[in-house]
Amino acid sequence: MTAAPLSTAVLTTPPRKADAMTTPTRAELKSKPLVEVMAIDKSFGPSRVLKQCSLDVRTGETVVMIGPSGSGKSTFLRCLNLLEPVDGGNIFFEGRDITRERDKAHLVRREIGMVFQSFELFSHLSAAENIMLAPMNVLGLSRLDAHDLATELLGKVRIPDKADAFPDELSGGQQQRVAIARALAMKPKMMLYDEPTSALDPEMIREVLDVMADLSAEGMTSIVVTHEMGFARRAADRIVFMESGEIIEAATSEAFFGGSVGERARRFLDQILH
Amino acid sequence: MSLDLVFDYLVSPVFLRGALMTLLITVCSLFFGVLTGLVIALVQETRSKAGNMVVLVYLWLFRGTPVLFQIIFIYNVLPSFGIRFTAFTSAVLALSLNEGAYMAEILRSGLQAVKKGQRTAGLALGMTGAQVMRLVVLPQAARIVLPPIGNQMIGMLKLSALVSVVAVEELLLVANQVASANFRYFEALTAAGLYYLALTTVFMVLQGMMERSLDPKRRRVGSRTPTLMERLTGSMVRASVR
């Protein structure tokens, strides 16, 4: 990767894991991108939050997005699942242009799970009910099937004994893992994580990252906005660096951690790594 | 002073009708009051300029004048503009419009108390806007607005006594009429008072049942809603066992 801004380039370099340089990763096996973001623009009033941002994400790939706060990472994620309408550009999901699907946006969102910094578990429902709500009301699962699904997913996120606990009775790390399980219950084709560990106490960050890393290893396509470089090193196929609304770099994990990063990304890394 | 007479009044058809009329006015006014409040709250949520202007004038009028004034105005002044209502309709209309002004505030604060992130989370799960409202926002808002709405219920019951000024045969007017015929004020007013207390108690019990049914943790040990005695005397002590 060069230091030149790649904001308009559609990146097609096959991603590779740092620890699997010789064998092709699962992402390389599938050639078609799951998501293609083409030069999207987004403004809030006079401030341009996204400028001509482009990114391809292949099935099974895990992309970590880093960058200073206010650089547009969260907005990028929110545009991807149509929580924010874009001003220009196109977003393709499974080859279909979803950019302007206002009325059918909820159909797109069913296939894309999202996890928030502040968890946003529904406070009037128990952990299991939080997970069951969407499958029952959106997918039409029976209560029994939804409950089985919730039990299975709570086991997957390693808190099988917290099914009946309410959000305010769970630690931050547990709440975030329930939130991940809730998103997984819709059987999404892709997961978006918006700073999932930023609101957590340090001792709880690990348990959440472990769950996310497991999911990535199982082949869940993921975009993760985070400052956890340890996670990026462990689970990312590619690292995207954003600054002032532009995608400055999108490098394979090994290139990035191998040191071939541009000046601005290096400066940012120096700052967050102290 | 005769307790026998108090008892006679309590079971007399006149008092019973008066009590039923009080209950009817209260229930009708509450129903239309909540409806009005809901409409206002939703208009305020939409942030339409014209709608908000209308709402503002309405709130200014009905919160800035006494209810008693509003009742008399609707019954006595509107007919001179050709708008004529029966005493009962005037009473319910005045109380509903007045109640709506306060109910709007309560409902709006309830809707706003459910944070935006909760709606976003619902949308991100693939729910439609209506589903998010029904499954995520309203259940949480209901829990928040129920205690103040309960207070409004009790308040409305007591407020209904005001409509005696337009000669609706409700409890207080009946008691007053009966007493002024034979000057047995103690007995007549005691009977009316007992009816009021019985009605407010029933309302409070209802409120308690509704609060419990909306409390998701109701089956848990340790979760605690106020007892009836605490409700009646307004002396709810927060259990600080955490």
Measured distance CA(A265)–CA(A269) in Å, rounded: 6
Contact A93, A35 (CB under 8 A): yes
- Ranking A56-60, B44-48, B69-73, B215-219 by mean pLDDT, the lowest is B215-219
Confidence of residue B231 (pLDDT cuts 50, 70, 90): low
Residue A28 has pLDDT above 60, yes or no: no
pTM: 0.78
Higher pLDDT: B239 or B111? It is: B111
Please, which residues 101-120 of chain B have a Cβ atom closer than 8 Å to chain A? 117-118, 120
Query: According to the model, what pLDDT value does residue A22 have?
Result: 44
**Which residues in B lie closer than 8 A to residue A179 (C-beta atoms)?**
121
Give percent of chain A with pLDDT exceeding 90: 75
Least CB–CB distance from B139: residue in A124, A126, A138: A124
Per the listing, tokens 């400028």 go with A51
Query: According to the model, what pLDDT value does residue B234 have?
Result: 63
Contact A192, A144 (CB under 8 A): no
**Which residues in A lie closer than 8 A to residue B121 (C-beta atoms)?**
114, 116, 120-122, 179
pLDDT tens-digit series, residues A208-219: 999 999 999 999
Measured distance CA(A200)–CA(A170) in Å, rounded: 12
Order of all β-strands in the sheet with A96-97: A47-58, A33-44, A88-93, A96-97
Residue A81 to residue B124, Cβ atoms within 8 A: yes
Domains of chain A, first to last: 26-111+189-272 (3.40.50.300)
A44 touches chain B (CB under 8 A): no
Residue A4 has pLDDT above 60, yes or no: no
Residue A118 has pLDDT above 50, yes or no: yes
* Chain B: closest CA distance from residue A83 (Å): 8
Averaged pLDDT, B201-229: 74
3-class DSSP assignment, residue B237 = coil
Residue B136 to residue A107, Cβ atoms within 8 A: no
Give percent of chain A with pLDDT exceeding 70: 88
Query: According to the model, what pLDDT value does residue A76 have?
Result: 96
**Which residues in A lie closer than 8 A to residue B125 (C-beta atoms)?**
109-110, 133-134, 138, 182-183, 186
Helix axes B185-214, B13-46, angle to 10 degrees: 40
A138 touches chain B (CB under 8 A): yes
Q: Is A202 left (phi over 0), alpha (psi -120 to 50) or beta?
A: alpha
* Chain A: closest CA distance from residue B128 (Å): 6
- Ranking A9-23, A243-257, B107-121, B226-240 by mean pLDDT, the lowest is A9-23
Confidence of residue B224 (pLDDT cuts 50, 70, 90): low
3-class DSSP assignment, residue B73 = helix
pLDDT tens-digit series, residues B14-64: 899 999 999 999 999 999 999 999 899 888 877 788 988 999 999 999 999
Query: According to the model, what pLDDT value does residue B220 have?
Result: 57
Domains of chain B, first to last: 3-114+128-233 (1.10.3720.10)
Residue A134 to residue B128, Cβ atoms within 8 A: no
Per the listing, tokens 């309709």 go with B89
Residue A133 to residue B124, Cβ atoms within 8 A: no
Contact B92, B126 (CB under 8 A): no
Query: According to the model, what pLDDT value does residue A30 have?
Result: 52
Query: According to the model, what pLDDT value does residue A7 have?
Result: 40
Q: From the centroid of its chain, how far is CA A95?
A: 19
Measured distance CA(A243)–CA(A240) in Å, rounded: 10
Residue B127 to residue A186, Cβ atoms within 8 A: no
* Chain B: closest CA distance from residue A261 (Å): 34
Find the closest chain A residue to B132 by CA distance. A134
Contact A127, A139 (CB under 8 A): no
Least CB–CB distance from A137: residue in B117, B127, B216: B127
A182 touches chain B (CB under 8 A): yes
